[in-house]
Every structure is written in structure tokens, then in C-alpha cells.
Chain A
Amino acid sequence: MRPILMKGHERPLTFLRYNRDGDMLFSCAKDHTPTLWYADNGERHGTYRGHNGAVWCCDVSRDSSRLITGSADQTAKLWDVKTGTQLFSFKFSSPARSVDFSVGDKLAVITTDPFMARTSAIHVKRIADDPQDQDGESVLVLENPEGRKRINRAVWGPLNQTIVSGGEDAVLRIWDAETGKLLKETDKEVGHKQTITSLCKSADDSHFLTGSLDKTAKACLPFLLYLLFHNPPVLWDMRTLTLIKTYTSGVPVNAVSMSPLLDHVVIGGGQDASAVTTTDHRAGNFEAKFYDKILQEEIGGVKGHFGPINALAFNPDGRSFSSGGEDGYVRLHHFDSDYFNIKI
């Protein structure tokens, strides 16, 4: 089907997130307002006003009542999804790069960037049932987990026992969510060679996928299986942090996602945004590429963006996906029936 072009942001997209029911799509961009869209027809539902900087990341609670956003204005904010009112603002002394709700939505992990004399940090905050009771106290703070290097993404492991993080130093780490102890980290030899830009869990938390600027994506296991996409994307096991699969893309990878329905992974990225104007439009490879998750073979690609793809998300029903680009557009793609019959 023709993709639906959603033009609501004035700056490059940074993150996309569907709610659990798959009827709402949240988008974050470098302009200051996260936006809510109807995931079916791409109509804009509303915006969340209050941030004063680029919004890097968001997460929505299981019952779709709360939204948490992390922004370069050095805050992470909790919102009421329905009314768009700000419920609480967590203040940090450096930009908040990534946010993730735990299973049960009682905790959130927030990472902050290295800034001035500050090192990067991972914060765990308790999310109160009643927003009146919410406070800014941290349950756990991991200072300096990767030194001066930025952490690009941190997510909860199975049963909220662990936290998985990845960032500029190209190493994936698993932390104990109670004590903050480092449980495991990936071997530089095996894993990504350059900045890990994105990390995405499978629907059942068994594996995750990471993408990196080294032109591959990898899948790995520490819940059980983490898929890791790097600049090649890579697949990892979530509990043991074993590298399962590597997908090679030939271009830097900015975003990865896994189909909840079929054994497909999709990666997006492209040439560095600063070089786009100097080369042919096709040179950038601004394509969302689909791979067979098991066979690691490229299935196809979806073109359309005229800047690198920064964000990708599958609808939880696996029948549509959306991509957000440096060009400021969100493209919502509903799959044709052909897609479900692909045989390789």
C-alpha cells in the first residue's frame, strides 16, 4: 500500500513507539514536542508540550495511560497520555538519552549523557501509581558505566532483574537491576566495532537486536536471546548475551526493529547526515531494509526517505511499520498481502 506520510515534526525524527494495542504511535523528534498519532490512518491525535530541547526517546505504559519522554533539556517527563498534561518532571544535570518502563510499569530506567564534567549515568526511578505521590528519588544510580562515552540505549531485561545497555564504546553490558553490579559484557572481538545506535527487544524478551555504525546488525541472548543490530545489526540472547546472528547492511545503522509476527528484522540508516548534500540522492541508501531473521538474507527494502532513517517501529500486530527520518517525516507503511507470503 502507499505509505502514509506524516508531517508533524519540524526537525529530524529521533524515536518511534507503538502502544501495546497497536492503535497509537508516539513519535519523538529534535523539535520539542512528542506527538501522538493514530496508528491506523496516520492522523495526528495530539502533542505533549513542555520540553525545551530535542526529545530523544519515549516509552508508553502497558495500559497506555502514561508516557515517559527523555530530552536534551536535561529532564525526563511523565505525561498523561489522554489529556497531554505533564504529571512529573525528573531533573538531571545532563541530557536524558533513553527511557524504558519495566514490566509492570513500576520502574523506569533513564540514561543520561556525559556533559561538561559529568559522566554518563543510568538511573532507575520508581513510578508511583498515583501521580500525586511521584517523587524524583532514584532507586539506583550507576555513575560512569561507560566513562565519557555516551549510552545510546538501556532497556530492562526479563522480569526486571537486569538492565541491558549499549552505546558509543560499542560494548553491550548487562547490569544487575537491584545492586547495579556489572554481570556481563560483550567481547570487542565478537560484537560491534563502532557505536551502538539502537537496541530493540523481541516481543517475548527472549532476544534483542542492536544496530551500529559499523554497518551490521546483530542478534543476541540475555533474557534468553538478545538480537543486536550494529552498523551491521546483530542479534543477541537476552539472558546469556550470546551473539546469535549478524546482518550486514553496508551502511551505518541508526535504527532496528523486529517483526512480532514473522521472522523478519528491519534496519534503517544511511550515510551520515552531514554528507547527504554532497552526493547523489541514491548514494545515501536511505532504505528500510528487511532481512530474514533466521537465514540472515536480505528480503527487500522500502525506499522513500530523503535523509537517513533514525527510527523504526513495528506495529505489535506485525501488519504495519513506521519509519522516521532525518528529513522530518514519519512514513507509515501497511504491508500488502504479498509481504506475508514472501518465500526465500
Chain B
Amino acid sequence: MAELDIDTRAAKLGIDWSQVNLDSIQLPPGENFGIESDDEGVYHNDQLEFDTGFGNIIVVDNLPVVPKTKFEKLENVLKKIYSQLGVIKEKGLWMPVDSNTGMTLGYCFIEFNTPQEAQNAKEKTHGYKLDKSHIFAVNMFDDFDRLMNVKEEWEAPQTKPYVPGENLQKWLTDEKARDQLVTRSGPDTEVFWNDARQKNTELVHKRPYWTESYVQWSPLGTYLVTLHKQGAAVWGGADTFTRLMRYQHNMVKLVDFSPGEKYLVTYHSQEPSNPRDASKVEIKVFDVRTGRMMRDFKGSADEFSIGGPGGVAGASWPVFRWAGGKDDKYFAKLSKNTISVYETETFGLIDKKSIKVDNVVDICWSPTDSILSLFVPEQGGGNQPAKVALVQIPSKVELRQKNLFSVSDCKMYWQSSGEYLAVKVDRYTKTKKSTYSGFELFRIKERDIPIEVLELDNKNDKIIAFAWEPKGHRFAVIHGDQPRPDVSFYTMKTTQHGGRVTKLGTLKAKQANALFWSPTGKYIILAGLKNFNGQLEFFNVDELETMATTEHFMATDIEWDPTGRYVATAVTSVHEMENGFTIWSFNGKLLYRNLKDHFFQLAWRPRPPSFLSPEKEEEIAKNLKKYSKKYELEDQDVSLLLSEQDREKRKALKEEWEKWVKQWKSLHEEEKLARQSLRDGEISDEEEEEDEAKEVKEVEFEDVIEVTEEVVQE
């Protein structure tokens, strides 16, 4: 009420405002004289929205048609079914009755408290068999309008004219055989060529606010996926990045590609309103090229994780793990006591059944074959041993298994070409107070899959990191105590020992806590991230020698380019300063730096695997001199050109500067008199001072004489 209104009203009623003590007035409880407080208004608005929306009503069809006598019974049955799925509102179940016959009409409306419950009830009971002749058909009330408006006659969809697509792999045909990388800093997302010859980057595409959370390359590098409120989008193309497809998934949080990049999995989770409930998870699988949704999975987070103490907040990503190889045939999900393996032909479970494995906690696909490795921890207080098993898919045949005793934890590491599986086993010592680690090494490609046990020289060493050499037979382990652990290299194959694992060597006391093999093998970076402030050691494993020891101070991320020629190290925005990335050659030579504030992410564009056979690759490596000649010449030309350009640039800068200086000098000269008068006629200006400076130099000559005196003394 406006103040003026109040005054006039008061005058009418004969009230003198000045006599009234407002604080002393007390309203009877519950009375508000028709004046709503502001919060009440908000409250009412909420209610209104609730009451008018039909989003929480479902329509259940195909009910039995019953006379009045049985009406109550049917109502009770329905209530029983639906109250399990959500809270039915008071008088929320309404079954219409034909007023002439007194018979029900065979359908009813049910109103739930929330639209989510209604949606859930619809999904759960659509197709529910009450008995043989009554199968429920459940729809949302809101959908009815849409369903009624479907045209009676079928219209053939129009065929769109074929538009030839762009060459999505044109980046691979770059003349200089460069690689691309994407970075996110501030609002900008940029794709660059890494032009190591020019010691700089060349921009390919830049777009501010390209993504709302992060970007990711597809595994073969064809697409770049961006995340948005409405869903995910993939970008690619011949020259610039154009949008190729969109995938609708509200508030998508995470995405994952199948290894052959045929399918895209998107993930969204919603925090529950009640903290005791598990969060809701929705996962969709799309066909990347057509954009069609192939399958979606909904449920509480419990159904997508094994519910360990770490899994409470949500499922661990990726929820669906794809079988290796480019076929994208199978993907598996781990949940409590079950492994669900789906196949992409039907997007259904293999044999329509999940695999039951009590207490399974971890699964891992071979990167090349459809073999699943799984780990089951000890049960019954040690009565039943822990187990690591290999299962062939789709036959579900157990290829090999090994029982392990007094195990506290296991971690599985596949070698990238699927030849070996290393299982790091943490065992309890006899007192059960501490653990020690060892390895079980499976040789997958050999007959009967032999298993070898490897223990470190010092059994009590903690294992800090483990990594297989890509495409190779070696692996590296960081073990020992911080802050100066040791690094050891082992090989699965030697000329002398054939099929025995052998130690190649140990490097003592290294400042390292992470291992980064070159994608081509042979070279490895021993990196000390986090507490070690970005120590980097470039190491050649063939020769067992250090190529370079250097540092990218505070580096948080390290990534090899897909060809193994260059390495990018980055300081991301977890640190406030020195954000940006540095490019190194494979042997640890610093090529260039690129500083960017608020640096979030860096990712090299992956390349599809090479078409060259291993034999051909070997031949090229042998005759490298012959092949490299051409490139060496090119390199030389470029470096000459560069130094020439550099000289020119410097010369131009110097000339420009001198031009300025001349200009200032003349102005300075002109103002000389003005300055003198400001200083009450004192002439001493810089010109005179220069003369003085010369005199000072003469004094320095005296010093030289002193030096000669010393010589005489000798």
C-alpha cells in the first residue's frame, strides 16, 4: 500500500498517525488483514505452478472393465502397484465410471507428488502385465495432446539431396607433417599447428566461448567435441572447424568416445534433493555420424557404480568401458555383483543376461581384443581367495584365472597392443599391519597364457607409478620412498632369456612421480609433478642413458604428441602464475614457450594408427638416413630463413627506435632554454654532464696504473 493511501485511509477513519505506536499493535494469530507478506507471495506462486501443471499425472490404460462391486478392489490393486513407485497425492487416483452402466471405462488417472515420480512410474509400469489380457499402457497426461494430433495418413519423409562431406582427415595431409593441438585459456578455445621449425604455433581456428566446460578429441582425431547446456557437439572438417553434429542431452557433464569413434557416450547426473538419496544418472549413447540416440540408461548412481566409499558422489567415469579394437562391438558396465556387457548391434545385453560375479570391484578390457579382465577381492575374511580372471567375450568363457592370497588391492595394466597384462598386487605382510607390492604378469598371446610373478629387489618398496612401453615389451616402475624413489626398467623379452621377465636397470634416487612413455616407445620422461615442481628427465631406454634433465617449473600436465616427436608440458590454472605451455623435442630440447593466463587445458589431436606394416616401419627406421635427407635440407632452409627474418626484424626495430630518439633529442634541444629558465638559469644540462662523464673515465685510467704497480711488486 502506498504511503499516501495509508494516510487518506487513516484520515477517513479519524486516526491520528502521530498518536499510534505501531510496535504495540498485535494482530490476532493467523490474521493478516488481507495483506500478504512478500515471502507468502513467493510460496503461493510455487504452489500454483504445482497445482496447474499436469506433469505429475499419468494415464493408465488397458485396465479391466469392472462393475461397481469390484471397483474398490481394482482401486486397491492400482494403489498398491503405484504407491511403491512414488507418493500418490490424496485423492490422486481417479477412475472414471460410465454413468449409464456403472462400469469402469478401463482407464484411470494417477497424480503423483512430483513429475519425476510420474515419469518413473510411467517407465516402470508401461507394459506391466496385470494378467494375460490386461497389459498396461501408460502415458504422461501431458503427452496426450501430442499423441492425439498424429496425422492419420503416413507421409513419406523427404529425401534430402546428398551433399558430399568435407574431408574430415585433411589435417593428416599437412605438407609439413605437423600436428595440431587444442588449448583452452580464458574464454578462448584455440586449435594450433605445432610448427616446431618456426619455433612457434600457427593458429588454425580460434573461438571464444566454444565450449561450456571442456573439449575433447575423438580417439582417432577426427572430431573435437564441445560441451554445452543443451548437449554435446562435434566439430571437424577440412580447413576450419565446422559443426558436424549435435547430440541433445541437457546439462551434459562428461562425454566418452568408443575407440573406433563410432559412438559417443554422454553423461549427466543430478544431485538429489535429499542428501541421503543417491544422485540420478542419465547416460545416452549416440551414433556419432547420424546423431541418433542408440540407447539411454537412467537410474540412481548406485546402479552405475559399485558403491565403494569413493563412489558415493556419482559414478566413476567412464561408466561404460569399450572393448578394444576399432569395431566398437562391445561395451561393459560394472555394478554391484554384476558385469553387464552390451553389444552394439542391438544395444542389448549379450545373451540378454549380465554376468554375475560376486563382489567384483574392477574390470578392464584388453586394448585390442574382446577380452575382459576382472578382479574380485578376498571374501569371508580370507577364506575365499582374491581372484584375477580373463573372460572372453562374447562367449563368456574364462580363459585364465589366478587366485591370490592375503591381498589388499589389485590394479590391472594392459599393454597397448594387448600382449601383456600386468596386475599390481598389494599384499598384507604377516602382521597385516602394512602391505607390500608385487606383479603378476600375464602373456596373453602365448599358449595357455602363462603367468609370471615379479617381485621388486626390495619387497617393501612402495610402487608409485607403473607404465608399459607402447607397442613394446618393456615397462617402467617408480618404486621406493619419497622424496627420492628409484626407477626400474624391465623387459618381457630378451635374446638370452626368451620368455622370462628381466630387469634392464635401476636409476637410483630420482625426483619423479610420474612416467610418460613416448607413443613410439624407446623414450620416456621421468617427471616430478606436484611436489617436485616439474622436474623432467628425458631418458633413452634402449641405451639406458639420460638425454636431458630439465625443469618446467610447476608443470601440471605432460603430453606427447601422437608421433612421439614433441612433448608439451603445461602449467594449468591450478597455479596462479606462469600459466601456459612449453614445447620440447623428444630429447628434451626446449623449442618454445607460450604463456597464457588462465590456462585450462591442452590436448594434442590424436592420429589414426599408421597403415604401414611393422616390417615396413622397421625398414624405414633402418634406412633412416636415406629418408631423412630431404627433411634435413628443408630444416636448414627454414632455419636460414628464420635467422634472416630475425635479423631484419631487429634491424627494423632498431631503426624505428633511433627515429624516435632523434625526434626526442631535437625536441629536447629546443626546450633547453626553457628548462634553463625553470632552473633559474642554471645551465648544467645533460650535455655538460656527458663531458663530466668523460672526465670520470680518465680517472679510471689511474686505476689501470695501479694494476701495473702490482705487477712490479711480483
Contacting residues of chain B (533-555) with chain A, CB-CB under 8 angstroms: 533, 553-554
Quick one: given A224-B667, A282-B533, A295-B653, are A159 and B678 in contact (CB under 8 Å)?
yes
Chain A proximity of B590: nearest CB distance (Å): 14
Contact B674 A159 (CB under 8 A): yes
Query: Which residues in B have their C-beta under 8 angstroms from that of A248?
Result: 595
Contact B680 A206 (CB under 8 A): no
Query: Which residues in A have their C-beta under 8 angstroms from that of B553?
Result: 282-283
Question: Is B668 in contact with chain A by the CB < 8 A criterion?
Answer: yes
For the complex, give the distance between the alpha carbons of A104 and B685 in Å. Answer: 12
Contacting residues of chain A (193-226) with chain B, CB-CB under 8 angstroms: 203-207, 215, 221, 223-225
Question: Is A123 in contact with chain B by the CB < 8 A criterion?
Answer: no
Contact B664 A285 (CB under 8 A): no
For the complex, give the distance between the alpha carbons of A328 and B671 in Å. Answer: 41
Quick one: given A282-B533, A294-B657, A295-B650, are A158 and B577 in contact (CB under 8 Å)?
no
**Nearest CB in chain A to that of B655: its residue:** A294
Mostly, the B contact residues are helix
Question: Is A148 in contact with chain B by the CB < 8 A criterion?
Answer: no
Tell which of B576, B674, B686 touches A204, judged by Cβ atoms closer than 8 Å: B686
Contact B597 A215 (CB under 8 A): yes
Question: Is A62 in contact with chain B by the CB < 8 A criterion?
Answer: yes
For the complex, give the distance between the alpha carbons of A294 and B649 in Å. Answer: 11
Question: Is A147 in contact with chain B by the CB < 8 A criterion?
Answer: no
Question: Is B43 in contact with chain A by the CB < 8 A criterion?
Answer: no
For the complex, give the distance between the alpha carbons of A204 and B668 in Å. Answer: 7
Query: Which residues in B have their C-beta under 8 angstroms from that of A102?
Result: 678
**Nearest CB in chain B to that of A260: its residue:** B686
Question: Is B213 in contact with chain A by the CB < 8 A criterion?
Answer: no
Contact A160 B678 (CB under 8 A): yes
Quick one: given A158-B671, A224-B663, A283-B554, are A203 and B686 in contact (CB under 8 Å)?
yes
Question: Is B675 in contact with chain A by the CB < 8 A criterion?
Answer: yes
Contacting residues of chain A (294-323) with chain B, CB-CB under 8 angstroms: 294-295, 317
Query: Which residues in B have their C-beta under 8 angstroms from that of A251?
Result: 577-578
Q: Which residues of A contact B (CB under 8 A)?
A: 62, 102-104, 106, 158-160, 203-207, 215, 221, 223-225, 237, 239, 244, 248, 250-251, 263, 271-272, 275, 280, 282-283, 285, 293-295, 317
For the complex, give the distance between the alpha carbons of A271 and B663 in Å. Answer: 38
Question: Is B654 in contact with chain A by the CB < 8 A criterion?
Answer: yes
Question: How many B residues have CB within 8 A of the partner chain?
Answer: 29
Question: Is B660 in contact with chain A by the CB < 8 A criterion?
Answer: yes
18 contacts between A and B (CB under 8 A): A104-B675, A159-B674, A159-B675, A203-B686, A204-B668, A205-B668, A206-B664, A223-B664, A224-B667, A225-B660, A239-B667, A244-B660, A248-B595, A280-B533, A282-B533, A293-B657, A294-B653, A295-B653
Quick one: given A159-B675, A224-B660, are A271 and B576 in contact (CB under 8 Å)?
yes
Query: Which residues in B have their C-beta under 8 angstroms from that of A221?
Result: 660
Query: Which residues in A have their C-beta under 8 angstroms from that of B626?
Result: none
**Nearest CB in chain B to that of A104: its residue:** B678
Contact B678 A225 (CB under 8 A): no
Query: Which residues in A have their C-beta under 8 angstroms from that of B595?
Result: 248, 250
Question: Is B430 in contact with chain A by the CB < 8 A criterion?
Answer: no
Tell which of B575, B577, B578, B664 touches A207, judged by Cβ atoms closer than 8 Å: B664
How many pairs, one residue from A and one from B, have CB atoms within 8 Å of each other in the complex?
A: 73
Cβ-closest 5 pairs across A and B: A206-B664, A104-B678, A224-B664, A294-B657, A104-B679
**Residue of A103, A160, A239 with highest tally of chain B CB at under 10 A:** A103
Query: Which residues in B have their C-beta under 8 angstroms from that of A283?
Result: 533, 553-554, 575, 577
**Residue of B580, B660, B663, B668 with highest tally of chain A CB at under 10 A:** B660
Query: Which residues in A have their C-beta under 8 angstroms from that of B575?
Result: 283
Query: Can you add 6 more A-B contacts, CB < 8 Å, to A215-B597, A251-B578?
Result: A62-B679, A104-B675, A158-B667, A159-B678, A225-B664, A237-B660
Contacting residues of chain B (97-117) with chain A, CB-CB under 8 angstroms: none
**Nearest CB in chain B to that of A275: its residue:** B576
**Nearest CB in chain B to that of A261: its residue:** B693
Q: Which residues of B contact A (CB under 8 A)?
A: 533, 553-554, 575-578, 580, 595, 597, 650, 653-654, 657, 660-661, 663-665, 667-668, 671, 674-675, 678-680, 686, 693
**Nearest CB in chain A to that of B679: its residue:** A104
For the complex, give the distance between the alpha carbons of A77 and B141 in Å. Answer: 82
Chain B proximity of A40: nearest CB distance (Å): 13
Chain A proximity of B374: nearest CB distance (Å): 42
For the complex, give the distance between the alpha carbons of A106 and B597 in Å. Answer: 45
Chain A proximity of B572: nearest CB distance (Å): 15
Query: Which residues in A have their C-beta under 8 angstroms from that of B661?
Result: 206
Contact A204 B679 (CB under 8 A): no
**Nearest CB in chain A to that of B678: its residue:** A104
Quick one: given A103-B678, A204-B664, A221-B660, are A294 and B654 in contact (CB under 8 Å)?
yes
Quick one: given A251-B577, A283-B577, are A103 and B654 in contact (CB under 8 Å)?
no
Contact B671 A159 (CB under 8 A): yes
Query: Which residues in A have their C-beta under 8 angstroms from that of B653?
Result: 294-295
For the complex, give the distance between the alpha carbons of A109 and B674 in Å. Answer: 20
Query: Which residues in B have their C-beta under 8 angstroms from that of A271?
Result: 576-577
Contact A103 B679 (CB under 8 A): yes
**Nearest CB in chain B to that of A129: its residue:** B680
Query: Which residues in B have their C-beta under 8 angstroms from that of A224?
Result: 660, 663-664, 667
For the complex, give the distance between the alpha carbons of A103 and B686 in Å. Answer: 13
Tell which of B533, B577, B665, B686 touches A285, judged by Cβ atoms closer than 8 Å: B577
**Nearest CB in chain A to that of B593: its residue:** A250
Chain B proximity of A124: nearest CB distance (Å): 15
Query: Which residues in B have their C-beta under 8 angstroms from that of A317?
Result: 693
Chain B proximity of A215: nearest CB distance (Å): 7
Contact B680 A104 (CB under 8 A): yes
**Residue of B663, B665, B686 with highest tally of chain A CB at under 10 A:** B663
Chain A proximity of B126: nearest CB distance (Å): 57
For the complex, give the distance between the alpha carbons of A158 and B665 in Å. Answer: 13
Query: Which residues in A have their C-beta under 8 angstroms from that of B665?
Result: 204
Query: Which residues in B have their C-beta under 8 angstroms from that of A295?
Result: 650, 653-654
Query: Which residues in B have their C-beta under 8 angstroms from that of A239?
Result: 667
Chain B proximity of A219: nearest CB distance (Å): 10
Query: Which residues in A have their C-beta under 8 angstroms from that of B580?
Result: 250
Chain A proximity of B584: nearest CB distance (Å): 18
Contact B578 A250 (CB under 8 A): yes
Query: Which residues in A have their C-beta under 8 angstroms from that of B675?
Result: 103-104, 159
For the complex, give the distance between the alpha carbons of A271 and B420 in Å. Answer: 48
For the complex, give the distance between the alpha carbons of A41 and B654 in Å. Answer: 36
**Nearest CB in chain B to that of A103: its residue:** B678
For the complex, give the distance between the alpha carbons of A295 and B646 in Å. Answer: 11
For the complex, give the distance between the alpha carbons of A293 and B653 in Å. Answer: 10
**Nearest CB in chain B to that of A107: its residue:** B678
For the complex, give the distance between the alpha carbons of A93 and B155 in Å. Answer: 83
**Nearest CB in chain A to that of B663: its residue:** A224
**Nearest CB in chain B to that of A20: its residue:** B689
For the complex, give the distance between the alpha carbons of A244 and B660 in Å. Answer: 10
For the complex, give the distance between the alpha carbons of A280 and B678 in Å. Answer: 52
For the complex, give the distance between the alpha carbons of A31 and B679 in Å. Answer: 34
Query: Which residues in A have their C-beta under 8 angstroms from that of B680?
Result: 104
Quick one: given A204-B686, A215-B597, A282-B533, are A250 and B577 in contact (CB under 8 Å)?
yes
**Nearest CB in chain B to that of A237: its residue:** B660
For the complex, give the distance between the alpha carbons of A293 and B654 in Å. Answer: 10
Chain B proximity of A213: nearest CB distance (Å): 11
Query: Which residues in B have their C-beta under 8 angstroms from that of A159?
Result: 671, 674-675, 678
Chain A proximity of B442: nearest CB distance (Å): 42
For the complex, give the distance between the alpha carbons of A62 and B554 in Å. Answer: 46
Query: Which residues in A have their C-beta under 8 angstroms from that of B671?
Result: 158-159
For the complex, give the distance between the alpha carbons of A272 and B576 in Å. Answer: 10
For the complex, give the distance between the alpha carbons of A248 and B580 in Å. Answer: 13
Chain A proximity of B32: nearest CB distance (Å): 42
For the complex, give the distance between the alpha carbons of A250 and B693 in Å. Answer: 37
Query: Which residues in B have their C-beta under 8 angstroms from that of A285?
Result: 577-578
**Nearest CB in chain B to that of A214: its residue:** B597
Chain B proximity of A328: nearest CB distance (Å): 23
Chain B proximity of A188: nearest CB distance (Å): 17
For the complex, give the distance between the alpha carbons of A293 and B667 in Å. Answer: 21
Chain B proximity of A325: nearest CB distance (Å): 17
